[in-house]
Amino acid sequence: MIGVFDSGFGGLTVHRALIEALPERDFVYLGDNRNAPYGTRPPIEVLNLTCAAIERLFAEGCTLVVIACNTASVVALRWIQQQWLPVRRREDGIARNVIGIAVPTIEAATSRASDASGPIAVFATQRTVDSGVYPLEIHKRQPGRAVVQQACPELAGAIESGAAPERLRALVHCYVEQMMDRAGSPPESVILACTHYPLVAAYFAEALPAGVRMIHQPETVAQALRSYLARHPEYDGSRGGARRFLSTGFVAEAILLIERFWGGKVPFEAI
Ligand code: DGL
């Protein structure tokens, strides 16, 4: 069974693409709504909360967990893979792995020649920007490539709280303008490095100069997971097409928000 974890409901944008790409697999989604948002939390809290969520997904029987949250991926994944998982594997004797969504996205963004004109622009939460992981991983693949990061501290919260379309549009235009002021030249590629931003991708497209390549994280991650499982069948052999949706803070008021992320009703269980 494959676990998919996010700080809240935003990861449903990624989860939906994973299910579409791998319909035969068993999936369980966990949203840590009680503690969302992660994007403004100190790194140590993001790390502890992420480990607790992974423990829970392992307890549900998951052998592979996808951290479908950029903030948790960039803050916690490296430590989890290098320090935490090896101990868990030794203690349990079970082959399990945890993967994130930042690296597949960066691989897609750097798939073009590094002499491409214009920088790669990264829009993300404050915590993701502060981690510096996106520029670091881009530069490992394309040294010297110009990267401009733009924190959008209010955007995920505004989407989550159901802000009016005009408010969301104004926020996106404002962040794009700030990025353009610092970038110098129009970006060649844009990464929307937050689970919530696919919902306002159209506002980004209209605010950005024409012809800019947008990396669609949900589809990119889904393709990467499919190829990962082909290379690593040991981490999931499920074929039942089972689905479960768990939330640490599910409340009836969230139903509209969930429908916005998912495009329909989702049978969440409160845990
Ligand atoms: N899921 C988070 C991300 O992709 C956004 C929401 C939050 O701040 O928790 O960065």
Which pLDDT belongs to residue 257?
87
Question: Three-class SS of residue 117?
Answer: coil
Catalytic residues: 69, 194
Question: Three-class SS of residue 226?
Answer: helix
If one residue of 70, 77, 131, 261 were mutated to test the ligand 1 pocket, choosing by the most ligand atoms within 8 A of its CB, it would be 70
If one residue of 71, 123, 161, 220 were mutated to test the ligand 1 pocket, choosing by the most ligand atoms within 8 A of its CB, it would be 71
Pick the residue whose CA is nearest to atom 7 on ligand 1.
37
Which pLDDT belongs to residue 116?
65
Tens digits of per-residue pLDDT, 188-214? 999 999 999 999 999 999 999 999 999
Look up residue 79 and give its amino acid.
Answer: W
Alpha-carbon separation of residue 93 from 52, 84, 86, 234 (angstroms): 20, 14, 10, 13
Tens digits of per-residue pLDDT, 113-166? 666 678 999 999 999 999 999 999 999 999 999 999 999 999 999 998 889 999
- Is the pLDDT confidence value at 112 over 80? no
217 CA to middle of ligand 1, Å?
A: 13
Predicted model pTM: 0.94
Question: Phi-psi bin for 123: left (phi > 0), alpha (psi -120 to 50), beta?
Answer: beta
Q: What is the arithmetic mean of pLDDT over 32-42?
A: 93
197 CA to middle of ligand 1, Å?
A: 10
Cα distance between the two ends of the chain: 19
